Amino acid sequence: MLQIISLLVENKPGALMRVTGLLTQRGYNIESLTVARTLDPELSRMTIAVEVDSALRQQVIKQMNKLINVLQAVDLSDSPAVIRELVLVRVRTAQETRQAVLKEAEIFGGRVVDSSTEGFAIEVTGDPEKLNEFVDVMRSYGEIDVTRSGALAIALEAKKLRLQPPVPTKGPAKVEETIQ
Amino acid sequence: MSTLMSGARMLLECLSREGVDCMFGYPGGVTLPLYDVLYDHPLRHVLVRHEENAAFAAEGYARATGKVGVCCATSGPGATNLTTGLVDAMMDSIPIVAITGQVSTKLIGSDAFQEADTFGITRSCTKHNYLVKTLEDLPQIVHEAFYVAASGRPGPVLVDIPKDVFQAQGHYSHVTAIHLPGYKVFTEGHTGQIRRALQLIQKAERALVYGGGGIIAADASVELREFVERTHFPAVNTLMGLGALPSEHPNFISMPGMHGSYAANMAMSNADLLIALGVRFDDRVTGRLAAFAPHAKVIHVDIDPAEIGKNRAPDVPIVGDVKRVLTKFNEALAENRKADGGLEAARNAWWSQIRRWKQEHPLQPVTSDTEIKPQHLMTEIDRLSQGRAIVTSDVGQHQMWAAQLVRFGEPRLWINSGGLGAMGFGLPSAIGAQFARPDKLVFAVVGDGGFQMSIPELATIAAYGLPVKIVVMNNGYLGMVRQWQELFYNNRLSAVELDCFPDAEKLAGAYGFKGRTIDKPWELAAALETAVNEPGPYLLNVKVSPAECVYPMVPAGGAINEMVLGPPQPVAAK
């Protein structure tokens, strides 16, 4: 089963590398990864879907929490959370099946974002499983191109965010520089 | 208002404010601005002969003092050469700060001369690393680096500084606080868990204290001593924890693990309570994990939450500074004297059992009339040290024999590459330790393999006149690899014979100090005394019996109570 990890990280160069490095150094393949800024521009929210041996899941979360740039890493796999993904599909379709494609898109709650004589570009959001079905259905109508955002997740129960307060540096400031 | 200064000077200003009195380094193209400022700066720069050894020397300094060690290298090859030392410090939780030069910011990513992606390469080699993009960030980053290196579970931190940042001019602004909201350090220990731990401690019949490098990192030796004396519990110290409890302390058994003593491993295997303090249940200690301490409940105290439950699920997990937690244990024990209740008989029986194990298979000094046994060498070093000298080592047979047979009366005397097992560590770390502790007798006890990896540093030792006593335990082999080939690969000795060892007297002489080779057991004591009495450095090449193997030994994958106690007995002729 995929593990869904949600992280709150400092929006700094290298933060992404540190997080993914923990997974790649253990030989885990990342299925999907999304990162974007939060309301606080100094922080980013990251959602990772990754296949991790069940015995090591907790260890991976602990290692992520140890990273200096990570404020919080939580495993959302087994806790109440909403997981959504966006897919963009371009489908080439013949004149006679255009109506059927639009109907299908409507069933999946999709939105046509481009229409041409060649076919449509459609966006759908939803549960990743449901998007798989949508992609399968579209494929039955003709040649398709697919881009997926990867899973985005939000926990339904707020986890207490414990942050380290600033630590005063030791010793008074030296008045003069050591050497001019 | 502070004066305008260059980035290079600002870096040294930061280092001075952090109390750095000595750094180990090697200059290069992009660090020229830094070395120009160092030219007349009071901060002492020690020129080593290879960047890897700058990192090892910084580690030796840190391990001998507990202060943050500092090393410095140029971009590209300088930085890549540091990496082994960084990983070593990572594995053993040693606080060092590495400063590397980088090509100018405009050139980064252009495959410029001596450019390497130091920030990327050292991501997994460090506790944290930084690339300084502007001079404004420099003071904050450098002070942060020292804070991160030394706090929590200590470790290496690297600061990569481009040449133009060294050259830029700016004002040093005093850093009043470190703000790292994601860097959580848990020190106090959970009150409820501490109470639960104390309940187990009070009830235990066959308790054992399993103390490691965390005790030394937390400077908790005094608290550990008080704890074992209050509880009368026996204690083992791991390879990284040797000296945490003095070797001579009556409660101290010895080192457990793959080459640990019979008594220590049997105690681990039969205990009903393990009090694990600043340890990480390393595979070299536990052997086959499933069979490790099968009867024991475990109290695990560590400052790193990720260590708790990593290898062995504890009954009582305590995330905290082992010094603080031990203090709380001791306070509670001082208040509550009724502990031993009806357990006295069981606890006495446990102690008698441990004494019996000790007597049955003690770690014995092996000697011979015709050749120098490696164990003999270690007992002679021990005789001269009396638990007071600093002893550094590489990795391998000599390291294990030294750990078994040399006593350490206090922490920070035994300096070795534990987790990473890096050859070539002993000599450069001895340099760092000797700079840190000029008052101490420092033995670099190295194998003939590791010594040849660090030979360039003889120049550093000679140049600074460091009175390091280099003792090469020379068996003509990569001994530990040979031991495994002998025992587990049908004695097919592949690429382990080290021919052509240099003449020690000539080698040392070439650097301007004294050296000697010995191979007779009756020469050993006097030769070591001569080395120790020599005011400067000394290279003593001790040819030991080549075929000796380290025992006891727990074969890989074995349980630690399934020890091989000695060489296989020759099969009787038909």
pLDDT reported for residue A177: 45
* Cβ–Cβ contact A61 with B under 8 A: no
User: Residue B10: closest CA among chain A residues belongs to which residue?
Assistant: A177
The answer to whether A10 contacts B181, with C-beta atoms less than 8 Å apart, is: yes
With contacts defined as CB-CB under 8 Å, which chain B residues touch A174?
A: 16-17
The answer to whether B42 contacts A59, with C-beta atoms less than 8 Å apart, is: no
The answer to whether B40 contacts A179, with C-beta atoms less than 8 Å apart, is: yes
Q: What is the mean pLDDT of residues B433-458?
A: 98
Q: What is the mean pLDDT of residues A142-153?
A: 95
* Cβ–Cβ contact A3 with B under 8 A: no
The answer to whether A178 contacts B183, with C-beta atoms less than 8 Å apart, is: no
d(CA B194, CA B317): 9
* Cβ–Cβ contact B12 with A under 8 A: yes
Of A14, A17, A66, the CB nearest to B306: A66
pLDDT reported for residue B306: 95
Catalytic-residue membership of B425: no
Query: Is the pLDDT at A175 greater than 50, yes or no?
Result: no
d(CA B83, CA B154): 17
pLDDT reported for residue A78: 82
With contacts defined as CB-CB under 8 Å, which chain A residues touch B17?
A: 171, 174
pLDDT (tens digit per residue) in A71-126: 999 999 888 999 999 999 999 999 999 999 999 999 999 999 999 999 999 999 99
Q: What is the mean pLDDT of residues B66-93?
A: 98
pLDDT reported for residue A180: 37
* Cβ–Cβ contact B117 with A under 8 A: no
Q: What is the mean pLDDT of residues B296-313?
A: 96
Q: Are A90 and A118 in contact (CB under 8 A)?
A: no
Confidence of residue B552 (pLDDT cuts 50, 70, 90): very high
pLDDT reported for residue B568: 76
* Cβ–Cβ contact B535 with A under 8 A: no
The answer to whether B177 contacts A168, with C-beta atoms less than 8 Å apart, is: yes
Of A21, A69, A167, the CB nearest to B182: A69
Catalytic-residue membership of B163: yes
Confidence of residue A168 (pLDDT cuts 50, 70, 90): confident
d(CA B437, CA B536): 15
Cis peptide before B552 (omega within 30 of 0): yes
With contacts defined as CB-CB under 8 Å, which chain A residues touch B306?
A: 59, 62-63, 65-66
With contacts defined as CB-CB under 8 Å, which chain B residues touch A166?
A: 177-179
d(CA B185, CA A166): 12
Average pLDDT, chain B: 96
User: Could you identify the residue written with the tokens 């090393």?
Assistant: B71
Q: What is the mean pLDDT of residues B48-72?
A: 98
With contacts defined as CB-CB under 8 Å, which chain B residues touch A71?
A: 181-182
pLDDT (tens digit per residue) in A33-86: 999 999 999 999 999 999 998 888 999 999 999 999 999 999 998 889 999 999
The more confident residue out of B513 and A56 is B513
Of B16, B124, B180, the CB nearest to A164: B180
pLDDT reported for residue A10: 96
pLDDT reported for residue B571: 58
Residue B125 falls in which region: left (phi positive, over 0), alpha (psi -120 to 50) or beta: alpha
pLDDT (tens digit per residue) in B369-398: 999 999 999 999 999 999 999 999 999 999
Of A63, A163, A169, the CB nearest to B143: A169
With contacts defined as CB-CB under 8 Å, which chain A residues touch B5?
A: 177
Residue B113 carries which DSSP code?
T
Instruction: Say how many CB pairs under 8 Å bridge A and B.
Output: 86
Q: Which two tokens stand for residue B206?
A: 């066959």
Query: What's the maximum distance between 2 C-alpha atoms anywhere in chain B?
Result: 92
pLDDT reported for residue A35: 96
The answer to whether B12 contacts A178, with C-beta atoms less than 8 Å apart, is: yes
Marked catalytic residue, from B114, B140, B353, B452: B114
Q: What percent of chain B has pLDDT over 90?
A: 94
pLDDT reported for residue B365: 81
User: Residue B145: closest CA among chain A residues belongs to which residue?
Assistant: A68
CA dihedral B35, B38, B43, B49 (to 10 degrees): 30
With contacts defined as CB-CB under 8 Å, which chain B residues touch A18?
A: 123
The answer to whether A169 contacts B176, with C-beta atoms less than 8 Å apart, is: yes
pLDDT reported for residue B366: 87
With contacts defined as CB-CB under 8 Å, which chain A residues touch B13?
A: 177-178
Q: What is the mean pLDDT of residues B177-192?
A: 94
E strands, B179-307, are 207-211, 235-237, 273-277, 297-302
A111-150 residues touching B, CB cutoff 8 A: none
Marked catalytic residue, from B127, B163, B323, B469: B163
With contacts defined as CB-CB under 8 Å, which chain A residues touch B309?
A: 58
Catalytic-residue membership of B119: no
Compute how many other C-beta atoms are within 10 angstroms of the C-beta atom of residue B342: 6
pLDDT (tens digit per residue) in B91-136: 999 999 999 999 999 999 999 999 999 999 999 999 999 999 999 9
pLDDT reported for residue B502: 97
pLDDT (tens digit per residue) in B324-358: 999 999 999 998 766 556 889 999 999 999 999 99
d(CA B123, CA A19): 10
Phi, psi of B277 (to 5 degrees): -120, 110
Three-class SS of residue B342?
helix
User: Residue B37: closest CA among chain A residues belongs to which residue?
Assistant: A179
Catalytic-residue membership of B67: no
Marked catalytic residue, from B23, B266, B453, B480: B480
Of A14, A71, A167, the CB nearest to B182: A71
pLDDT reported for residue A178: 44
Catalytic-residue membership of B480: yes
Q: Which residues contact A103 (CB under 8 A, 6 or more apart)?
A: none
- Strands A167-168 vs B177-178: parallel, antiparallel or unpaired: antiparallel
pLDDT reported for residue B119: 97
d(CA B55, CA B309): 31
Three-class SS of residue B287?
strand
